[in-house]
Every structure is written in C-alpha cells, then in structure tokens.
Chains A and B, each alone.
Chain A
Amino acid sequence: MSLNVPQTLEAEIDELITHYPEKRSASVMLLHAIQEHFGYVSKEAIEWIASKLELKPINVYELVTFYPMFRQEPAGKYVVKVCRTLSCALGGSGKLHGHICSKLGLDSRKHGLQTASDGKFSVEFVECLASCGTAPVMMINDDFYEGVSHERADEIMGKCQ
C-alpha cells in the first residue's frame, strides 16, 4: 500500500527539502508535515519519506521511535498534552492530568498517548513545555494554555468541537 500524498503537501515537502545541503536533514520536518496531514506516521509514510529523501526506511523509523512527538497510531482530533515536569508538578499538573483522564475515562497511570473511546480526545502526560512560570500548562494541538485550573480545562475542552 502506498501513501496518497496530495500535490500541495508534496510541493510543500519539496520546498522544505531545498532548505538543506543534504536531503536527509529534512527528515524531521517531513515527519511533521506528514503527521500534521495524516494525523500519524504510518509505515507507508515512513517508506514514502525514505524514498523521497533517498534513505532506507530504517533511517526514518529510527527517528519516529526516538522523537516523542511522532506517533505511529492515529490519535483523537484533539491531542491534549499536560506537562508532567517539576514546575508544573509543583503547580498541580498531576491532578490536572488525573482530572482530564478521569473525565475521558482514561487511566492516568498509563504511559504514552491514550485516546478516549469517543475518538475525539487523546491525552498525553509530557515533559516540560517551557512555560514553567505559568504552571500548570497544557497544549491542545498547536495551542497553548497556561495556569490551567480544572474548571478552565473543562471549559477549554468543552469548546473543542
């Protein structure tokens, strides 16, 4: 099975490759582009990127398993990342993560990305998001939320349609 990459995305990818004297450098940027479009990085996507960059699939697979932001399974429409690291933990991020998980019927002790049964939300307890002064913080997709109380989390997630 091969990957169906739309022309606009491929054009974007081709442009990204021009940023580097060596094609391989574009790997991570291509993985971002592919994950943004398809929602995850499939085996076919890895093969597609490898052939685009004249690499072996293992070269790309090594990256997908190394960089935490890449996922090999589809996720919910909204990916909620709650910061786990010290400043946020001191600010109550453990409880925030627990609250969100129980709201979505997920097990807060599980590692890695979990998707709720409705398929709308995925939750991950991630490392420092570099906004430690406004703990606890979370991201939903590309958007950032600071000083998130449980009520605020409910409200923000309620607006996700």
Chain B
Amino acid sequence: MPEEFRLILKKADEPGYTPDIDCYMSHGGYESLKKALAIQPKEIEDGKTKTPQEQIRDEVMTSGLRGRGGAGFSCGLKWSFVDRRSGKPIYLICNADESEPGTFKDRQIIHKDPHQLVEGMIISAFANDVNLAYIYIRGEFPNGAKLLNKALNEAREKGFLGKNILGSGFDLEIHVHRGAGAYICGEETGLIESLEGKRAYPRIKPPFFPAVLGLYMCPTIVNNVETLCAVRHIIEMGGAEYAKLGTPRNTGTRIVSLSGQVKKPGYYEIEVGKVTLGELIFHENFGGGLREGRSLKAVIPGGSSAKVLKAGEKFNMKRPNKDGEMESVEVDMLDIPYDFDSLMAAGTMSGSSAIIVMDDSVDIVDVLANVSAFYAHESCGQCTPCREGSLWMSKALNRLTSGKGRKEDAEYLTHIATNIQGRTICAFGEASSWPVLSFVKKFKDEFEAKGAAVQPAEGEPNKEGAATAAK
C-alpha cells in the first residue's frame, strides 16, 4: 500500500511538538551536528588524509541527494563545484523563497521545525568552510522569519552558532533575510542579487556561476530548505543508508505539496519514486480522489512552471522487466512514479514537487490565463524575450477569456512561447512558456473553440485583461 514516509516531517506534526529548541533537542536535535563536528581526519591511501569536511561532502555525494528546490541537481556535485582556492569567503544561502505556485512544503519546516533547518545549515556550512550564511525567506512569511530568528538566537545561546561552535574551532553566523514579494527571488542568481540589495535580476551564466562568482562575487552555495534538512538526516544515518530510501538515482524522501481539486489537499512526504502520481491524487493515504461526480482533466505535476499532463495521456518509458533488462512500456500519466527522472521522461518535471489537480469543471483556457497572469506579473523584465513575451501571452489569453479570441490564437500563443524558452537569462523563460506550450498543445481544441466562439467586431479595441491581468 502506498504510504507516506516521514523523515523530515517525522516530528513536526506530532501532538505537542513545538518549534523551540528544547523540544527539538529532546527529540534528538543537534545530535547530527555534534556527530559532524566530532569527525576526525581520516587516513586514506598514500598517506593522504581526508578532512572531516571532505568526509561529510563524500557522504552527501554518496546519498545521491538531489536538490529539492526545482532543478533536482545533485547536491554533492553542486558542492564539488565550489571554488575553494579563490581565497575568498564561501557563502551558504538557504533558499526559503518558496515561490513556485502550488508549493507549501518549506513553510511546514520553517513554521513547525525551524531548528531542523538550522542544524542542516550548520552542518552544510561546516562541510563547506562557510562562516557566514543567510536564510532568504519570502516576504510573505513574516511569522516564519520571526520563528527562524528565535531559533537562531536559541542556537546561539546553546553554542551551536557563533564563535568556536561546541569547541570545534568552527565559527558560523546565520542571518535571516526577508524578500518582499517577488517570485524571481527564488531563482538562485536573482536571489543573490536581491541579497546584495538590488533588483532581483538573475545573472548571466557564464560567467556568474554561483559556485565561483556568487554573493559579493565570492563562491556561494544556494540550497533549498528541504535539501539542507536532508543533509542533517544524511549525517545522522549515513549517506549509503539514505540512498536506500527512494529509488536509485532518485533517493531519499520528498515532501509533495498537493493542491487544487482533490478531496484532501495537503503535504505528503514520500520516498522518491515509490509512489505514483495517480496514487498521490487518488489514494486515501494521500489526496483521496476528486470531489463527487468529477473526473480528472489535468495535472500540473511540479509547480505551475511544469508542463501540464492531460488525463489519459500515455508515455513510453524504460522500465526494468523481470530479468532486470530495460524495456519500453506504455505508462499512463497516473502511473508515473513521482520522481525526478520519470516526470522528465514524460516531458515535464517534478520541479518543486507541487501537484495541482484540475477536474472536469475547469475551463482550461481560464486556467492558463490565470497561470500566465502570474508570470506576466513576476517577470523581472531584464531580458527581452521574457519581458515582452510574458505580458504578451497574458494579454492574448485575457483577450481569449473575455470573448475576443481569434481562430489563430492557439498558433499565436505557441509562436510567442516558443520564442521565449531557451533564449532568456534565466529559467523563468521556461517557467512562463512551458505552461502555454503544453496547455495549448494538449488542449488545442479548447483553445480553438474559444477562439472561434466569438470574433471581435471590426475596429473594436482589444481590452486589457481585468482581474487576471498583471497590473
């Protein structure tokens, strides 16, 4: 039976569990940190030694941990890219912007178990010789920021932060930095610019790879809240043990945010790849299915930037057969294992692991208009294709939803979106164009029907969208 597997959220929802340090410590909190700080240099071949930091980084590599923020990039590999020879300080930033629509998982950790994040950060900072770290938290979490500040103060009082942490000689300071309502601050280089006190304009890569030229042009690691929490568990259980959770290449647990038209929306921590998309939506241990009398229409599987999946869509996927050989099998969208690689193979992504469910009551054009309005509002406006294209798509969709559609609008939208993806400074270009490309492609008839339904009177001006338009 598909079930939740709670690792990171194991205690958060236990009755009586509170966000203060005493509660955390009475549940084994900060033991992983003590363990990490106690690691001794290890002799390897040729009389060389591995520093404790290198050993922790090895564990993270072994764990197979992939980033929980969106791209699913190997955490161990990311850490290995850090320029450790520049002589400049190395910074760690926790990405707590939680800005991808549909996502509300980091919120749970921050509000219910902030010390877990703090502990994960201290270990990660230690492993990467970081002495100054920041938590970049979205502006709309004012109470979360207060809780984190309280947690940091408590940790400071206990000697887990500050100078010479637990007598190890390691110094670390962590500060909470609040955003102010801009989605693009979730993109790591936009976040860095924002943290430098500027407009959150993502940086061009090359040359500004954070691992080399990040915050203040110093090597910088940006990791998601959940990723950093996982580090704490990797140290506790060992990288190899952690890697046994989930499935090969898609290890560990993930917190899935489920929203939209399901009976039991909410957050569910699962072993990655051990539960299917359909189970997450329909199984009683998870979403519990749709409202009475409704049938499934579409699912956005990884935050609003991910390409939509249409109910009944089938994919050919490589699966090991009984003899362990790979063979191609047809898989219904509901049977896609919820992991990084399977969703990618289905042409979409698990992104921030946020599933948005739509039943047959929705007007798919309205849905896309809503999504596009978000991107039109959130484009930072730095680069041409996205700055101009995001609002362009939104205006066209508003025109469609307000009865001014044209037959050619489906093509028109595809044309605009095609010219954004892959041509922009940051992945927001994909984020804004993928919904359009996938919705229009998969629900083309509905877009064409909308376009054909009403033709504008000659010379009538197009109306700028009202409630759904950006600005």
Contact = CB atoms under 8 A, between A and B. Distances in A.
Contacts of A69: 139-140, 180-181
Given A28-B180, A68-B181, A133 B104 contact: yes
B296 to A, nearest CB: 13
Contact of A112 (B139, B258, B259, B471): B471
A139 interface: yes
A90 B195 CA distance: 33
Contacts of B132: 21
Q: Which of A23, A59, A129 has the most chain B CB atoms inside 10 A of its CB?
A: A129
A118 B468 CA distance: 26
A90 B297 CA distance: 13
B12 to A, nearest CB: 15
A23 to B, nearest CB: 8
Contacts of A27: 197
A85 B103 CA distance: 12
A67 to B, nearest CB: 3
Contact of A135 (B177, B265, B304): B265
Given A132-B103, A133-B266, A87 B180 contact: no
Interface string B82-115: 0000000000000000111111101100000000
Given A94-B467, A132-B257, A86 B177 contact: no
Interface string A33-65: 000000000000000000001010001001100
A128 B181 contact: no
Describe A's contact surface by its main secondary structure.
mixed
B203 interface: no
Interface stretch (B243-251, B317-325, B371-379): B371-379
Nearest to A98: B467
B196 A111 contact: no
B195 A87 contact: no
Contact of A85 (B101, B466, B467): B101
A86 B182 contact: no
A52 to B, nearest CB: 12
A86 B467 contact: no
Contacts of B196: 22, 24-25
Measured as residues with beta carbon below 8 angstroms from the partner, the interface class of chain B is 35 or more
Contacts of A70: 180
A86 B199 contact: no
B367 interface: yes
Interface in B254-278: 257-261, 265-267
A130 B200 contact: no
Contacts of A63: 180, 197-199
A130 B107 contact: yes
Given A90-B358, A128-B102, A133-B104, A28 B140 contact: no
Nearest to B132: A21
B51 to A, nearest CB: 26
A132 B180 contact: no
Nearest to B464: A111
Interface string B360-404: 001000010011011001101000000000000000000000000
A127 B374 contact: yes
A99 B407 CA distance: 35
Given A24-B196, A28-B179, A109-B466, A130 B139 contact: no
Given A67-B179, A70-B180, A126-B140, 7 more contacts: A25-B195, A25-B196, A28-B177, A62-B198, A69-B180, A90-B367, A130-B140
Q: Which 3 A-B pairs have the closest CB atoms?
A: A67-B180, A24-B197, A27-B197
30 contacts: A22-B196, A23-B197, A24-B197, A26-B197, A27-B197, A28-B197, A53-B197, A59-B197, A59-B198, A63-B180, A67-B139, A67-B180, A68-B182, A84-B370, A84-B373, A86-B304, A87-B259, A90-B260, A90-B356, A108-B467, A111-B470, A126-B140, A126-B181, A127-B181, A130-B103, A130-B106, A132-B102, A132-B354, A135-B265, A142-B142
